[in-house]
A and B are shown apart, each in its own frame.
Chain A
Amino acid sequence: MVHWPVTRIIALLVAALGLLGTAAVVSAGPANAEGEAVQGTLRDLAGAPVVGVTITVTNDSGFEDSDVTNAEGAWIVEVPGPGQYSVLLDEETLPDGTTPPTVNPITTSADPGTPRFINFRLGERERNVQTRWDRAAQLSVEGLRFGLVLALAAVGLSLIYGTTGLTNFAHGEIMTFGAIATWFFNVNLGINLIGAAVLGVITSGIFGWVQERGLWRPLRRRGTGLIAMMIVSIGFALALANTYLIIFGGASRPYGDYDSQAGIEFGAVSLTPKDMISMVIAAVILALAGLALLKTRMGKATRAVADNPALAASSGIDVDRVILVVWITGAALAGLGGVMLAMTQQVSYLMGTQTLLLIFAAVTLGGLGTAFGALVGSLVVGMLIQLSTLWINPELKNVGALLVMIIVLMVRPQGILGRRSRVG
């Protein structure tokens, strides 16, 4: 029975390594420690770093620490844990002629395990104090952005589930893969971020191809059960995430371009150009993917396979080819999602792992196995997470989203758009 070489998985990991490049990590930008921190880069309106400014972070329980911006304008304060912090810029230490920031101090919250980025906007025009509606508007846009990121990953996860029945716990690692590959092209090879992202997305697609041909298809051929494959994907996720940790390190690193852009104001909403552009790109690509599913031969075949693989095969559809295409596009989309996520959060080896549950939530909300359900579910989850911070502590925002998922499962197990299926 066992014609399947033991070395295959090793080969897969080596392939992953190879795709990422085995180069020693070149440090760029302010690398920071693992764990909670508040950090940022202080720049003036022209984009030049502002040096020697003292920034102090405090919280209600008496924590206080400060840092002085370095030659790149970067500063970082490690904080004891997640929660609310007040970040104060000492206006006395600003160079002469620099207008103090309009909002100072800034109240922020540190998320578990990830650094929080704070940008003081120096010398901006006067703005009124934010109202709740202003915040709601801003959060909606951020929620939409995050929803699009989730959707990029969720569509692939959902289609893979639909066509193969695999609940892929290693899908978050494809996001990380895309983000790290892009970082490598961008920072190590010096390619502009846009070009690097294109290369990163292509590499992610190749990674999807390698996974399907090297791992999942042979497993299906072997007759490995769905639960066994799910556990294999857990092992794969563990192996990949720690492989990333070994090559990329535990630090979060930014891309070399467009790292800190000034926001552009649209009424109450402030958006950076990179956010706007990446949101448009994500929306266009998702729309194209949807159109392809609806209109093209391959799209129709995909949906037929998701509905009933045996019937689709008997009616002449090449099921393996469909699944391969789903893996390649699904992985490429997830890779793009990873790049977009890294543009706000920076690149870290755990970013995909940390997003996986939210992707699951999105897919489950929309209805397992339906691509459009995954899209809707993602947008709902994204908005929900951001908007919930109007009422609840941001450190608990993911809790809210996961709770909603569980409640939806109780009330409507087939998800928002899923079909009613027979349940025991």
Chain B
Amino acid sequence: MPDESSTAIQRDAAVAALADLAREPGVAKPDPILIADNVVRRFGGLTAVDVEHVEVQRGAITALIGPNGAGKTTFFNLLTGFDKVDEGSWTYNGKSIEGVPPYKVARMGMVRTFQLTKVLTRLTVIENMRLGATGQRGERLLPSIVKALWRGQEREITERADDLLRRFKLDTKREDFAGSLSGGQRKLLEMARSLMVNPELVMLDEPMAGVNPALTQSLLGHVKDLRELGMSVLFVEHDMDMVRDISDWVIVMAQGKIIAEGPPHEVMADTRVIDAYLGAHHDQSLAQIAVDEGLDVPVEILEADGGDQT
């Protein structure tokens, strides 16, 4: 784990780079790793995401916040290729990745986790980790038959995996089925596994959801470490304390649009943001009424952002 002084250095650099930017939606960043333009996704008649312009700074921790149903997870899905846009374009490291399938997005170094953790239940923890490594010779059909062709690489991968497991304090669970882990441990495993891909940009979808408070601090530490190791982080979160604690920059979404941007303390004082959060309760009750009336509420709307903290 990097020491405190280096943590400060990296954070100060990120904060300094973002300090003089205008506090307005879609503001240009000095060194963006991800730029999205006019990204639109509709479900039936409802526009879930309508992002005009947004940039994510390299080497910083950026939080994406907003009320339930704001379209944060859908936006994540679109950027990583897990869902198809109706319109829009976006670039990662200057390359357009619109329409690029999710696995290629991941190989380019943009790796995501999921709101509902997706550990591979009936694989052991170490197997979950090994699976994360890219470019494995043994993953090709014919070479896989001859162990000599991939034994060496497998050993290297395993060493890397064991290092990460130690860092994430999962080394005692190495041989357990991932399905036997607690919710928080699953979040840790998922984050550790995504690092096996050697990402440049880590996208975390609600890393704190359902995590036991005892594990919160260690998870926060790990997220901060990512920045210190030179990675960029974009994360969706509801826990405002966490957002305030670790993020360098905050982007606020409401009803599919980006409504505010800025450093955490400033954004949280913004009246537009407060209004958006208060308004959210109104939205939710509408969906509830619709169901009570037996109306057809598209499943996507209910799933898209509603399934929080499970």
Q: A residues bordering B, Cβ < 8 Å?
A: 299-301, 303-304, 307-308, 311-312, 315-316, 419-422, 424
Do B294 and A303 touch across chains, with their CB atoms under 8 A apart? yes
Given contacts A307-B302, A420-B44, 8 further A-B contacts (CB under 8 A): A300-B293, A304-B291, A304-B292, A304-B294, A307-B296, A307-B299, A419-B298, A419-B299
Q: Which residue of A lies closest to B74 (CB)?
A: A422
Do A307 and B291 touch across chains, with their CB atoms under 8 A apart? yes
Chain A residues, CB < 8 A from B288: 311, 315
Most central of B82, B291, B293, B302 by chain A CB within 10 Å: B291
13 contacts between A and B (CB under 8 A): A299-B294, A301-B294, A303-B296, A304-B291, A307-B297, A308-B291, A311-B302, A315-B291, A419-B300, A420-B43, A420-B44, A422-B83, A424-B82
Q: How far is the CB of B179 from chain A (nearest CB, A)?
A: 13
Do A421 and B299 touch across chains, with their CB atoms under 8 A apart? yes
Chain A residues, CB < 8 A from B296: 303, 307
Instruction: Give the CA-CA distance A252 to B67 in the complex, in Å.
Output: 63
Closest 6 CB pairs of A and B: A300-B294, A308-B302, A304-B294, A315-B292, A304-B291, A311-B291
Most central of B294, B296, B302 by chain A CB within 10 Å: B294
Chain A residues, CB < 8 A from B299: 307-308, 419, 421
Q: Which residue of B lies closest to A311 (CB)?
A: B291
Which residue in B44, B292, B302 is a CB contact (below 8 Å) of A419? B44
Chain B residues, CB < 8 A from A301: 294
Chain A residues, CB < 8 A from B302: 307-308, 311
For chain B, the count of residues having a C-beta within 8 Å of the partner chain is 15
Q: How far is the CB of B79 from chain A (nearest CB, A)?
A: 15
Chain B residues, CB < 8 A from A420: 43-44
Instruction: Give the CA-CA distance A303 to B297 in the complex, in Å.
Output: 10
Chain B residues, CB < 8 A from A422: 82-83, 300
Instruction: Give the CA-CA distance A308 to B294 in the complex, in Å.
Output: 11
Instruction: Give the CA-CA distance A259 to B33 in the complex, in Å.
Output: 77
Q: How far is the CB of A101 from chain B (nearest CB, A)?
A: 54
Instruction: Give the CA-CA distance A424 to B294 in the complex, in Å.
Output: 29
Instruction: Give the CA-CA distance A27 to B288 in the complex, in Å.
Output: 58
Q: Which residue of A lies closest to B298 (CB)?
A: A419
Q: Which residue of B lies closest to A298 (CB)?
A: B294
Most central of A299, A300, A311, A312 by chain B CB within 10 Å: A311
Instruction: Give the CA-CA distance A276 to B103 in the complex, in Å.
Output: 57
Instruction: Give the CA-CA distance A304 to B300 in the complex, in Å.
Output: 14
Chain A residues, CB < 8 A from B294: 299-301, 303-304
Residues facing A in B34-52 (CB within 8 A) are 43-44
Do B300 and A312 touch across chains, with their CB atoms under 8 A apart? no
Chain B residues, CB < 8 A from A299: 294
Chain B residues, CB < 8 A from A307: 291, 296-297, 299, 302
Q: How far is the CB of B254 from chain A (nearest CB, A)?
A: 22
Q: Which residue of A lies closest to B287 (CB)?
A: A311
Q: Which residue of B lies closest to A299 (CB)?
A: B294
Q: How far is the CB of B300 from chain A (nearest CB, A)?
A: 7
Most central of B44, B298, B299 by chain A CB within 10 Å: B299
Residues facing A in B261-298 (CB within 8 A) are 288, 291-294, 296-298
Q: How far is the CB of A52 from chain B (nearest CB, A)?
A: 63
Q: How far is the CB of A322 from chain B (nearest CB, A)?
A: 11
Chain B residues, CB < 8 A from A421: 299-300
Q: How far is the CB of A326 from chain B (nearest CB, A)?
A: 15
Instruction: Give the CA-CA distance A304 to B288 in the complex, in Å.
Output: 11
Chain B residues, CB < 8 A from A300: 293-294
Chain B residues, CB < 8 A from A316: 292
Instruction: Give the CA-CA distance A424 to B102 in the complex, in Å.
Output: 9
Q: Which residue of B lies closest to A308 (CB)?
A: B302
Instruction: Give the CA-CA distance A420 to B298 in the complex, in Å.
Output: 9
Instruction: Give the CA-CA distance A300 to B290 in the complex, in Å.
Output: 11
Residues facing A in B76-98 (CB within 8 A) are 82-83
Do B300 and A308 touch across chains, with their CB atoms under 8 A apart? no
Binary CB contact string for chain B from 16 to 45 against chain A (1 if under 8 A, 0 otherwise) = 000000000000000000000000000110
CB within 8 Å for A308 and B293 given contacts A315-B288, A419-B44, A422-B83: no
Do A308 and B83 touch across chains, with their CB atoms under 8 A apart? no
Instruction: Give the CA-CA distance A331 to B288 in the complex, in Å.
Output: 31
Do A308 and B297 touch across chains, with their CB atoms under 8 A apart? yes
Q: How far is the CB of A74 from chain B (nearest CB, A)?
A: 53
Instruction: Give the CA-CA distance A199 to B205 in the complex, in Å.
Output: 56
Do A312 and B291 touch across chains, with their CB atoms under 8 A apart? yes
Instruction: Give the CA-CA distance A424 to B101 in the complex, in Å.
Output: 9
Instruction: Give the CA-CA distance A311 to B301 in the complex, in Å.
Output: 12
Instruction: Give the CA-CA distance A307 to B293 in the complex, in Å.
Output: 13
Q: How far is the CB of A183 from chain B (nearest CB, A)?
A: 39
Q: Which residue of B lies closest to A422 (CB)?
A: B83
Instruction: Give the CA-CA distance A316 to B293 in the complex, in Å.
Output: 12
Chain B residues, CB < 8 A from A419: 44, 298-300
Chain A residues, CB < 8 A from B83: 422
Instruction: Give the CA-CA distance A301 to B302 in the complex, in Å.
Output: 17
Instruction: Give the CA-CA distance A304 to B298 in the complex, in Å.
Output: 10
Instruction: Give the CA-CA distance A303 to B291 in the complex, in Å.
Output: 9
Q: Which residue of A lies closest to B304 (CB)?
A: A422
Chain A residues, CB < 8 A from B292: 304, 315-316
Q: How far is the CB of A346 from chain B (nearest CB, A)?
A: 41
Instruction: Give the CA-CA distance A311 to B297 in the complex, in Å.
Output: 11
Instruction: Give the CA-CA distance A92 to B222 in the complex, in Å.
Output: 97
Q: How far is the CB of A424 from chain B (nearest CB, A)?
A: 8
Chain B residues, CB < 8 A from A315: 288, 291-292
Instruction: Give the CA-CA distance A311 to B310 in the complex, in Å.
Output: 13
Chain A residues, CB < 8 A from B293: 300
Chain A residues, CB < 8 A from B297: 307-308
Residues facing A in B90-116 (CB within 8 A) are none
Instruction: Give the CA-CA distance A312 to B300 in the complex, in Å.
Output: 15
Q: Which residue of B lies closest to A294 (CB)?
A: B294
Chain B residues, CB < 8 A from A311: 288, 291, 302
Instruction: Give the CA-CA distance A329 to B302 in the complex, in Å.
Output: 28
Instruction: Give the CA-CA distance A304 to B299 in the complex, in Å.
Output: 10
Q: How far is the CB of A112 from chain B (nearest CB, A)?
A: 39
Residues facing A in B194-210 (CB within 8 A) are none
